[in-house]
Structure formats: C-alpha cells, structure tokens
Amino acid sequence: MPKKNIVILTGAGISAESGLKTFRDSDGLWMGHNVADVATPEAFYRNPDLVQQFYNERRKDVKAVQPNAAHFYLAKLEEEFNVHIVTQNIDDLHERAGSRQVLHLHGQITKMHTVKNTNIYFDATDEILTGHLGEDGSQLRPHVVWFGEEVPMLQQAAELMTRADIFILVGSSLEVYPAAGLIEFVPHEVPKFILDKKIPSLFQYENILPIEKSATEGIKELDLLLEEYRT
C-alpha cells in the first residue's frame, strides 16, 4: 500500500526555537534593522554593503545553531509517510535534521546567485561582499527572496498542497503572503493540523485540528493525532 502524502508548511516559529531571531515577533525589526532597509531590492541597490553584511551575519547565525526536536520529528515522519516540506524559512535546519524533500519558498541563506541570473545558485560558505562576481560577471547576492520580488517556487508549492492526504502547519502565523495563501490549495476533506503558539484565524477552512503549543512542545500531541492515519 502506498504511503500517504503529508505536506508540511513551516514558518518562523520552528526556527525561532533553535535560537534564530525573526522579524515576526519584533514589530517589523529584524536584528535592529527595518525590513525595508535590508530585505528589499531597493535596499540592495541603495546600500549593497549594508545588505550584504546583514546576510553575512544571518548566515553565521544559521551555522551556529542546530535543528531542534520539531525538525527531527518532521524528518522522522518520512519513515511512515511520503513527506514534502514547504518552508518559508531561509535556513537549512530541515535538511540538517534529515528531511529529504524540502522546498524553500524564500530561498536559502546558505546559497547565492548573481543579480543577472536567479535560476542558478551556488553554496555560499563564506562572506559575500560587494565586488564578488559570478561567472557571468555580475554581482553575487544571497539566494533569498526579498519583499517585492516574485516567489518562483510558489506554483510548485501550490501543486504539492493539492496532492496532500494530510496537511500540517508548523510555526507560521499565515500573515505573510503569498505563502499564507497556500492552505487554500489543500483539498477541503484533508485533515489540517495547525501547530503554533498562537493559532491563526482559520474559521473559513474545514477539518482544522489545532494544537496551540510551540513546535517542540506540540509534536507529542501531533504524533498521537496522526496515529489513526498510519498504515
């Protein structure tokens, strides 16, 4: 019998439990910076040195932390289910926990691409500085999707949602669009487990099963609720 498809959408809450700071809980400030000053194309062209240094520091932050129990639990689900993770996070904690099918909606801080070609990206193991050029001769930049830029993986993510037998939301307030709209592609009859410290308003959707806890606290309850869906 084929494994059931679990599609998981993760957000800032799961990474925060590993010690990564986000702007979700800090009034639009990210590590003391206004998002408009470090996370938009306009900011990059206005002050590239500031933006590059900001992401160099965030890359160091990611390397300094470890996946938490929630990351490892989601990876372990692959033993029983066909699991696809769609994440809004730019860190690599899901991969480091062992998840094999991870789609990054907003790119990855551990990668880089040139300003001329966003489709080809490379590992960023060190700092990216102004003057660091790719093979096409243009400036290298973090492989992240800034506010105001298209989300190239959105269509692929939406298609994954349509094939879900089980949907799980972990650590997301569903406030950042277009990612927040992905739940609309999940079929009505599919059970939708919502694991977050503050459950977003989802009255318009069917088959919602809320777990109002942090990711690491809520995985035990989630595991119990998944029992009836195991083959």
Bridge-based pairing of strands 192-195 and 166-170 is parallel
Cα separation values, 25 from 16, 18, 57, 68, Å: 10, 15, 19, 19
- Of the candidates 71, 84, 94, 106, the residue annotated as catalytic is 106
188 is catalytic: no
Phi, psi of 159 (to 5 degrees): -65, -40
Q: At 70, which helix (H) or strand (E)? A: helix 69-76
Question: Do residues 171 and 195 make contact, with C-beta atoms less than 8 angstroms apart?
Answer: yes
Distance CA 200, CA 95 (A): 27
Distance CA 196, CA 193 (A): 10
Secondary structure percentages of the chain, helix, strand, coil, to 5: 35, 20, 45
Catalytic residues: 106
